[in-house]
Amino acid sequence: MNDCDLEHPAFYKERKRKARVPHKCSECHHTITPSTEYIAISGKWDGKIDRYKQCLSCKEISQHYRETENCCVPLGGLFEAIANAGRENIN
């Protein structure tokens, strides 16, 4: 069971693609170079369609974080979530 209080999208599509042109990873902001595989994500949140690109390293980190922390991570917010992990328990 995943402890997730994020809004569920009206639709969500995720697929592995091979870059034909340079892209920027939505998580680490590094360049995804042509001929490199990446994850293309699209969905509709709050009535707005958004698209994200995730390098395979960030995809793996995101999956591991979700599994070990038992929580959801907003797209584009992986490293902020990791940096803030456990801070709510300090005080």
Domains annotated for the chain, with CATH where assigned, are 12-86 (3.30.1740.10)
Query: Identity (one letter) of the amino acid at 85?
Result: A
pLDDT higher than threshold 60 for residue 89: no
37-86 pLDDT, tens digit per residue, is 999 999 998 899 999 999 999 999 999 888 887 777 888 888 888 888 76
Question: What is the reported pLDDT for 19?
Answer: 98
